[in-house]
Amino acid sequence: MHREYRRWHSPSLNREMELLVVGHAGAPVLVFPTSMGKFYEWEDRGMLELLRWQVDQGWLQFYCVDSVDAESWYCRRAHPGARAYRQTQYDDYLYHEVLPLVRDRNPNPFLITVGASFGAYHAMNFGVRHPDAVRRVVGLSGIYDIRRWAGGFEGEHVHLNNPVQFVGGERDPYRLSLLYGMDIVMATGREDPLVESAREMSRVLWGRGIGNALREWDGWAHDWDYWGRMLTLYINGHD
């Protein structure tokens, strides 16, 4: 598999950011690590190897990004408003820096976002905020209501970075039309403590007329072995 390491100073975040590109062509896949994870996490965990054949065939190309969770939602010493604003800056980094890199290297417009656990939050958040850019969201064992990290604080940047609230309050006809055309898949275990978050996200989406597939697996299913099996099933759609 083609593998390329990239690093630059991000104007959006005012810090160095790293990412990994795996694959030479195909639908671009924006990969988010688990909470406070690094860009190489999915490679280290063998997740990309599971899709080696699709990558070698030129069907999928992965862009594995770093997180700034330790500076945003997991930065407990910071005010919730500051945590949320750092998340907005991270979104700016993704949209204004990573996305242009993807488009420069790959003309395929079918962008997929994917992540597991807290990475699923990022995949969903970026997807519903930018339906002009994202065509499919795959969330594995995710949390989709960020308010527990805001400690009851309500503010503009909390709302903008909370998928449940953001989608529920969407009123723009054009943006809704784009959301209607998205392919959204969530997979989680029935005994996963986060399962209710996925169910709520699914209800909110359906409440706005936005189709989605919620797949509930037996048991806890909140670990890499399960996520690997989920990934191979759902990266291409609603199997």
Any idea which fold 3-234 has?
Rossmann fold (3.40.50)
To the nearest 10°, the Cα dihedral for 153, 155, 159, 161? -80
Average pLDDT in the 105-123 region? 98
Confidence category of residue 151, pLDDT binned at 50, 70, 90: confident
pLDDT at 77: 94
Radius of gyration of the chain (CA): 17
pLDDT in tens, 175-194: 999 999 999 999 999 999 99
- Which residues does 211 contact at the CB level (< 8 Å), separation at least 6? 180, 184, 205
* Per-residue model confidence (pLDDT) at position 239: 55
* Pairwise pLDDT comparison (7 vs 1), residue with the higher score: 7
pLDDT of 238 higher than 80 = no
Q: What is the pLDDT of residue 56?
A: 97
Does position 237 have pLDDT exceeding 90, yes or no? no
For the chain, the domains span 3-234
Tell whether the torsion through CA atoms of 76, 77, 80 and 84 is positive or negative.
Answer: negative
Instruction: Please list the alpha-helical segments (H only) found in 156-223.
Output: 156-160, 163-168, 173-180, 195-207
Question: If pLDDT is split at 50, 70 and 90, which confidence band does 5 have?
Answer: very high
Q: What is the mean pLDDT of the segment spanning 104-117?
A: 97
This prediction has a pTM of: 0.97
